[in-house]
């Protein structure tokens, strides 16, 4: 594996691969890699001849009271894990390399999809995500880019962005990687103390139970949301949202919607966790 830090170096490698007719897979990350990231890299490896991984903690997707400064930077350990995963190229740019003119004045924003779920309480977050991913797509010019379904809203927004901006890139969603107790793998899990880590799997359990209620015929989504939100808060979570949403628009689901996502964001202590489950509902005709 080669490690590079500049845009010109990445473009040189990718240009050479494309000239040889090789397909390029790409996995953008913020580092502090875990098995969930490795599963994305394996997905890219299965689909492409070579794999590029980026590690960049992007400041523009963090709000003023969020955890940018304490987000873990573990580049040496990450690089070792990427070698073991069979990565061909690691791109680890500085903030100055990604934002060479300083304060950004050019933004990529996907209207509508960012108004719900995490976007409702993290103003500017998805604008930061779409802008930096657009930059990375222009730099790496991959054939395939792989993202995790744990970040369901992010995946939906990036798919829409890629379609509307005509990026010639196949966007692949990889299944959420979970610990043995069901907790979705996340770099932020490392912030949980022992008691919080014991409690955290209840988030996924609540989603599974709510999903089962819908599959059993329950259509009072507001009632379900209130009941499971109250249950999580009584257990010790600070719930930002627990929503049954239309899987395409991400707006609150109606009784006529058939493709749904049940999504949740909640804090344990100072750690914000997100998760989701998808389901298809068969309506009587």
Q: Which residues are annotated as a binding site for ATP?
A: 30-37, 148-151, 185-188
Buried b (16+ CB within 10 A) or exposed e, 9-22: ebeebbeebeeeee
Please state, as a whole number, how many other Cβ atoms lie within 10 Å of the Cβ of residue 150: 20
Provide the annotated binding site: 30-37, 61, 148-151, 154, 185-188
* Residues that are catalytic: 37
Residue ranges for the known binding site for beta-alanine are 61
Where do runs of H (alpha helix) occur along 20-102?
Answer: 35-47, 75-85, 95-98
User: What H or E segment, with its residue span, contains residue 277?
Assistant: strand 271-280
Per the CB < 8 A criterion, the answer to whether 218 and 254 are in contact is no
**C-alpha pair distances (Å), 14 with each of 102, 205, 231:** 26, 43, 50
């Amino acid at each position: 594996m080669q490690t590079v830090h500049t845009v010109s170096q990445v473009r040189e490698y990718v240009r050479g691969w494309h000239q040889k007719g090789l397909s390029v897979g790409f996995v953008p990350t913020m580092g502090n890699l875990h098995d969930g990231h490795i599963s994305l890299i394996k997905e890219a490896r299965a689909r492409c001849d070579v794999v590029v991984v980026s590690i960049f903690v992007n400041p523009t997707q963090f709000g003023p009271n969020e955890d940018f400064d304490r987000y873990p930077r573990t580049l040496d350990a990450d690089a070792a894990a990427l070698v073991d995963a069979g990565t061909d190229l690691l791109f680890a740019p500085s903030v100055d390399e990604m934002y060479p003119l300083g304060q950004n004045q050019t933004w990529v924003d996907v209207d509508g999809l960012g108004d719900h779920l995490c976007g409702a309480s993290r103003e500017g977050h998805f604008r930061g995500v779409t802008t930096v991913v657009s930059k990375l797509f222009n730099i790496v010019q991959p054939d395939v880019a792989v993202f995790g379904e744990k970040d369901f809203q992010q995946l939906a927004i990036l798919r829409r962005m890629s379609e509307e901006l005509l990026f010639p890139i196949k966007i692949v969603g990889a299944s959420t990687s979970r610990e043995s107790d069901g907790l979705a793998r996340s770099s932020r899990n490392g912030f949980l103390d022992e008691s919080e880590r014991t409690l955290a799997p209840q988030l996924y359990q609540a989603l599974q139970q709510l999903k089962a209620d819908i599959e059993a015929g329950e259509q009072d989504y507001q009632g379900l949301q209130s009941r499971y939100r109250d249950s999580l808060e009584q257990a010790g979570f600070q719930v930002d949202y627990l929503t049954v949403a239309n899987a395409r628009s991400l707006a609150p689901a109606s009784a006529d919607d058939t493709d749904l996502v049940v999504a949740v964001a909640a804090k344990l202590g100072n750690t914000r966790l997100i998760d989701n489950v998808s389901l298809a509902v068969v309506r009587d005709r």
